[in-house]
Amino acid sequence: MPEPSLSQQNLREMASRWLSPSKVPGRFRVHEDTTDFFRVEYDDVVVLDGATYLIRHNAKEQRFGLEDEVKFWVKRAIDLQDGELKILKLVFYEKFLSHVGDLEFECYRSPRKEARILDLVAGHPGFMQGHAVEDTGGNLIRVLDFINGRPLSKQINGLDLDHETYFYERLPGVLNRFKEAVEAIRFLHENREKHGDIRRDHILVDREDGRYRWIDFDYNYRHRENIYGYDLFGLGNILVFLVGMGDVIVRDLATRNPDALNTLSAEDLNLVFQNRVVNLRKVYPYIPVALNRMLLHFSRGTHVFYEQTSQLVSDLSEVLEAHLPPPETAEEKGETNDEPGEDLQQEHPHCGG
């Protein structure tokens, strides 16, 4: 039951500051314990440590080529004190075997891990921001600042450019931003934390300053010998995606560039995803050798692996300084043409992919 200070009348008054009169609910259901997150619905109120949040939509997970999946434990909400948009991540535990190509490993979701990392990265511009608070049921809820931006994957896939123009005009700026993002992951690793689910759609491009910001740290994986190997593999996949202006798929080359296709061997393909080309210089010969060499670390033909993020940062810095044209002042033109509010901060359920 709501506290006396949170009577229905109080809540109506608070909500009416941020909603048009027709949108203000007649009656609010108030939750202080969110254990059963399915019961927390649109227009309900969640009270956490004295703060009051009006629930809006559930977040949706973007799926490759499939319909979006609703994440009932991730809610968009309005902070009724100041009207700020927030994301509330309620507690949902899951453990499962994840598959990357043919490889299988154990993944799990941990609110504690995400809470710990939120503390660690407070004030760091390379990460989503927020804090964790326990509800009355002992659930560790993460209250996240809403990021006005869209996933890096959408930004790159939405570019209407030929690759060569992209390469000379946009890629240096994109890779500068990406280097900052890799440095942010290095910061996590230096503090003995994994991101756990590094993917191209777990970077949001902030519309305000163009920065790449990592989201979703609640995944973890049971590492074996190389504690950060899976994070590094994720970074490599994003790098190849960025340099290729999207995935370069073997099948597509048959029509787009059959000459390049004829030069490819199995060793030119992704270490795990064997339909993706990694040796992009064979498709786009203007890619510098030094940059292509970085990509080849993630190919089936590689004998040398990156073991630490610092190695990746170092190589990326050298490529940017010595082998690519300087970035244009408008760093990532690709972030234009967004419809405001088009994209939601997403929640994704998978390690890998």
For binding to another protein (CB under 8 A), which residues are involved? 93, 95, 100-101, 103, 105, 108, 110, 112-113, 192, 220, 222-227, 229-230, 232-233, 271-272, 298, 300, 302, 305
Q: Are 194 and 244 in contact (CB under 8 A)?
A: no
Of 193 and 347, nearer to another protein (C-beta) is 193
Of 27 and 303, nearer to another protein (C-beta) is 303
Q: At its nearest, how many Å lie between another protein and the CB of residue 329?
A: 37
CB atoms within 10 A of CB 310: 14
Q: At its nearest, how many Å lie between another protein and the CB of residue 183?
A: 20
Of 301 and 326, nearer to another protein (C-beta) is 301
Of 222 and 251, nearer to another protein (C-beta) is 222
Q: At its nearest, how many Å lie between another protein and the CB of residue 228?
A: 9
Q: At its nearest, how many Å lie between another protein and the CB of residue 14?
A: 34
Q: Are 75 and 40 in contact (CB under 8 A)?
A: yes
C-alpha pair distances (Å), 112 with each of 59, 122, 335, 350: 20, 15, 33, 18
Q: Are 166 and 159 in contact (CB under 8 A)?
A: yes
Going by C-alpha positions, the residue among 10, 48, 14 that lies closest to residue 31 is 48
Q: At its nearest, how many Å lie between another protein and the CB of residue 63?
A: 23
Exposed e or buried b per residue across 44-64, where buried means at least 16 C-beta atoms within 10 angstroms of its C-beta:
bbbbbeeebbbbbebbbbbee
C-alpha pair distances (Å), 82 with each of 12, 39, 85, 120, 318: 15, 25, 9, 25, 45
Q: At its nearest, how many Å lie between another protein and the CB of residue 110?
A: 4
Of 45 and 232, nearer to another protein (C-beta) is 232
Q: At its nearest, how many Å lie between another protein and the CB of residue 33?
A: 16
Q: To 10 degrees, what angle do helices 309-322 and 229-243 make?
A: 20
The amino acid at residue 124 is H
Of 166 and 230, nearer to another protein (C-beta) is 230
Tokens 């992209």 -> residue: 166
Of 18 and 108, nearer to another protein (C-beta) is 108
Q: How many CA atoms lie within 13 A of 83 on its CB side?
A: 6
Q: At its nearest, how many Å lie between another protein and the CB of residue 5?
A: 33
Of 157 and 302, nearer to another protein (C-beta) is 302
Q: Which are the contacts of 143, defined by CB distance < 8 A and separation ≥ 6? A: 48, 51, 53, 86, 87, 88, 130, 131, 132, 133
Tokens of 275: 């339909």
